[in-house]
Amino acid sequence: VQLQASGGGLVQAGDSLRLSCLFSGHSFSNYHMAWLRQAPGKEHELVAAIGWSGRSKTYADALKGRFTISRDNSKNTMYLQMNSLKPEDTANYYCAARSQVPTKNWGLSFMDEVDARGQGTQVTVSS
| 8 Å CB contact between 82 and 70 | no
DSSP state of 63: G
Rounded Cα distance, 8 and 91, in Å: 10
Q: pLDDT value at position 73?
A: 97
Q: pLDDT value at position 74?
A: 97
Q: pLDDT tens-digit profile of 103-113?
A: 899 999 999 88
Closest CA to 11 of 67, 86, 95: 86
Q: pLDDT tens-digit profile of 37-52?
A: 999 999 999 999 999 9
Rounded Cα distance, 68 and 81, in Å: 5
User: Three-class SS of residue 62?
Assistant: helix
Average pLDDT of every residue of the chain: 96
